[in-house]
A and B are shown apart, each in its own frame.
Chain A
Amino acid sequence: TMLVSHRRYLLKKVWPTIPTPENKFQGLFTIYGGDFQKWLGHTDGDLWQSPNVFYPEEGPSPLEVLSELPVSPLLQCPPLPPKGCRVPQ
């Protein structure tokens, strides 16, 4: 047994276990056929599907301050037809 363990020791010295990256991608090729996104979704919990669908910003609404208008818009209206220029409420 001395010889065997000595041989094992030597083997470990010359041929040690080395770190390899493939252990961190288990199932990527065997189960998910190289579909990284699918593999990722299954190994790291449900991921947000589309994290970029966020915050539509509507265009600003036009605005006028009545007191700032140069002349009252009601007076600027052409006289005919008389009802056409009224601001509908």
Chain B
Amino acid sequence: RECSDSGPAAASTVLRVHFYHGIQGAAECSLLSFPPGDYVAEELCISAAKACSISPLYYNFFGLFREQDRLWFSPNHVFHLEETASEDLFFRLRYYFPGWYSSGPSRAYRYGVTKGSESPVLDDTVMSYLFFQWRNDFVNGLIQIPNSHETQEECLGMAVLDMSRLAKEKQMSPLDIYHNTSYKTFLPKDMRAQIQDCNFVTRKRIRFRFKRFIQQFSQCRTTVRDLKLKYLISMESLEKAFYTETFQVREASSGTLNILVAADTGIQWAREKDSVKVLQLLCDFPDVVHISIQQVSSEGSTEGRIVIINKQDGKSLEVEFQSLAEALSFVSLVDGYYRLTTDAQHYLCKEVAPPRLLEDISSHCHGPISIEYAIHRLQKCGNKHGVFILRSSPKDFYKYFLTFPVKIYDTIEYKHCQITKSANGEFNLSGTKRQFCSLQDLLKCYQKETIRSDTVVFQFSQCCPPKSKELSCLLVCRSNKGSDVPLSSS
């Protein structure tokens, strides 16, 4: 099946980026293939996001993951792939905010311009992608699930949701699915084995009760979306490991310990104290000021890297990772969470800084903020003539807009002039002839020019840059921070 980004998936394919479900229009195809060459992780993520219809507002929740050594790659990682190389990567949602689906008190949400205009962290497309990702981890036993009567019932409940979801997608009755496929294939590998170990009568009883409930559940009025959503909610409560990353490090005073990173708990470490594991908060993402990576100086270990986390209180933490790749995996995780929780336009460590972010910073581009937000910022500048905002499109990875206020008679209107980025990386302001190799050069040129849009004459004289730690829709407010962070930026 043809599904390559770059011609037929022939023998020349050395890099494959896998998805957890088929791409639209190609049900059985769930990967992109690439020929030998150099590839930046960020651009691969963008290709993958486009193939999965994930918009620019959400792609920074994703990363590239290699299953065999359980490594994540930073956005600026370059894959140098020769003819003989073979690389298999997974496009995975990496940053997860518990309670994202709720608008209640334990919620996580994106900031809005005003109170009441907050928006959800994820949309249905991302939710659906995450469903297939977590379903894969769940069924294939990639995440260990505690073995108790309670969790077994939760797993069976999830199998009911999953079977009903499949039935709806295939337009069959859940009972037909039940008869065609063993219900056990919807359960984690370990639980399948446990049921297999039960005696014949017990197995038959579990199967019978499951069948009876599937029959009852098929009377339920529901949608594929809601079934997937409930599946994710159950998964979130079942096991934190679905959205927590763990790293093994060495620390001068404590020896070997585990570092745990999750959106709601920040960076924690698990120390062994009197043979009991004690979890302690190391620091939360907003507390981090800067991270640096150093080579271990002691002889014996040339691979190891020391990561130094400098905190706002002036203190710093030093932990040693076994390899540079692991250190970068950790640092890119903290850096990504920092951008989603604290400052959308800042990086903590230059070794992992996303190339597009560097481009945005040098051209004062706001990222994929909404029109509503851009207008809000211009209003704060008093809608002055000549002031403009440069933002990237929330819909298209290769478009930008210059948004500026114009006075037409007595009312203020807003214009959005489009800049397109071509495949070879050149920028063009729509309606003009010249190509530029950077946004900066483009702006420098047209800031001296007089522009006409419809009947209005205009000059891009003053750029309105993003402010540090600005609360925009690019930032997520976490449930644990609901009380001490203001709701709105206005």
User: Chain A interface (Cβ within 8 Å of chain B)?
Assistant: 14-25, 28-29, 34-37, 40, 44-49, 51-52, 54-68, 87-89
Sample (22) of A-B pairs whose CB atoms are under 8 Å apart: A19-B152, A19-B155, A19-B156, A21-B156, A21-B157, A24-B153, A25-B160, A28-B220, A36-B222, A36-B226, A37-B223, A44-B233, A45-B106, A51-B122, A51-B124, A55-B395, A57-B394, A64-B451, A66-B452, A66-B457, A68-B432, A89-B457
A63 touches B449 (CB 8 A): no
A76 to B120 alpha-carbon distance, docked (Å) = 52
B102 — nearest CB in chain A belongs to which residue? A45
A58 touches B101 (CB 8 A): no
B401 — nearest CB in chain A belongs to which residue? A60
Q: Which residues of B contact A35 (CB under 8 A)?
A: 220-221
The answer to whether residues A61 and B453 also contact, given A19-B149, A21-B157, A45-B107 and a CB cut-off of 8 A, is yes
A89 to B217 alpha-carbon distance, docked (Å) = 66
Q: Which residues of B contact A19 (CB under 8 A)?
A: 149, 152-153, 155-156, 206
A29 to B105 alpha-carbon distance, docked (Å) = 26
The answer to whether residues A24 and B371 also contact, given A55-B395, A63-B417, A88-B455 and a CB cut-off of 8 A, is no
User: Chain B interface (Cβ within 8 Å of chain A)?
Assistant: 55, 57, 99, 101-107, 119-120, 122-124, 127, 149, 152-157, 159-160, 199, 201-202, 205-206, 209-210, 213, 216-217, 219-223, 226-227, 229-230, 233-234, 370-371, 393-395, 401, 415-418, 429-434, 446, 449-455, 457
Distance (whole angstroms) from the CB of A89 to the closest CB of chain B: 7
Q: Which residues of A contact B429 (CB under 8 A)?
A: 63, 65
Q: Chain A binding site: helix, strand, loop or mixed by DSSP? A: loop
B219 touches A34 (CB 8 A): yes
B206 touches A18 (CB 8 A): yes
Besides A20-B209, A60-B417, 9 new A-B residue pairs in contact (Cβ under 8 A), listed by A number? A21-B160, A24-B157, A36-B226, A46-B103, A51-B122, A60-B418, A63-B429, A65-B450, A68-B449
